[in-house]
Chains A and B, each alone.
Chain A
Amino acid sequence: MTSLSPGLLLLFGAALLPLLPARPRDGVLLGLPLLTLAAVWAVPDGDALRVAFLGLELVPVRGTGVGRLFATVFALMAFTGALYALRQARLVEQVAAQVYAGGAIGVTFAGDLVTLFVFWELMALGSTLVIWSANTPQAYRASLRYLMVHLFGGVVLMAGIAGHFVETGSVAFTAMQPDSPARWLILVGFLINTGAPPLSSWVPDAYPEASPSGAVFLSAFTTKTAVFALLVGFPGATVLVWVGLWMIFYGIVYALLENDMRRILAYSIVNQVGFMVCGIGIGTAMALNGAAAHAFAHIIYKALLLMSAGAVLHMTGRRKCSELGGLYQSMPLTTLCGIVGALAISSFPFTSGFVSKSMIVQSTVDEHLATIWFLLIAASAGVFLHAGIKFPWFVFFQKDSGLRPPDPPWNMRAAMVLFAFLCIALGIFPQPLYALLPFPVEYEPYTATHLVAQFQLLLFSGLAFFTLLSLMRRTETISLDFDWFYRRFAKEPLLKFTLRGSNSRERFVAAARRRVDGVIARLFRTHGPHGMLADNWPTGSMVLWVAVLLALMLLVSYL
Chain B
Amino acid sequence: MVEPRTHWLARPRTIRWIWIAFAGVLLLTLIPSLFIEQHEHFGLEGSFGFYAWFGLVTCAAMVVGAKVLGMFLKRPDDYYDD
Residues of chain A at the chain B interface (Cβ within 8 Å): 252-253, 256-257, 259-260, 320, 326, 328-329, 365, 368, 370, 373-374, 377-378, 381-382, 384-385, 400, 448-449, 452-465, 468, 471-472, 475-481, 487-488
Contact = CB atoms under 8 A, between A and B. Distances in A.
A385 B63 contact: yes
Contacts of B29: 452, 455-456, 459
Nearest to A257: B70
A154 B64 CA distance: 38
B26 A257 contact: no
A114 B66 CA distance: 42
B73 interface: yes
Given A365-B41, A452-B33, A457-B51, A471 B63 contact: yes
Interface string B16-41: 00000010011001101100111101
A253 B66 contact: yes
A99 to B, nearest CB: 29
A458 B55 contact: yes
Contact of B54 (A378, A385, A462): A378
Contacts of B80: 478, 487-488
Interface residues of B, number: 44
A256 B63 contact: yes
Nearest to A329: B7
A80 to B, nearest CB: 30
B65 A478 contact: no
A253 B63 CA distance: 8
A461 B74 contact: no
B49 to A, nearest CB: 6
A385 B57 CA distance: 12
A382 B66 CA distance: 11
Nearest to A480: B73
B59 A385 contact: yes
Nearest to B23: A463
Given A257-B69, A452-B32, A456-B55, A464 B60 contact: yes
Contacts of B36: 448-449, 452
Contacts of A381: 54-55, 58-59, 62
B11 to A, nearest CB: 12
B32 to A, nearest CB: 5
Contact of A468 (B9, B30, B50, B60): B60
Contacts of A378: 54, 58, 62
A382 B64 CA distance: 12
Contacts of A463: 22, 26, 56
B56 A460 contact: yes
B64 A385 contact: no
Contacts of B67: 471
Contacts of A385: 59, 62-63
A374 B55 contact: no
Contacts of B2: none
Given A448-B36, A464-B55, A487-B80, A479 B41 contact: no
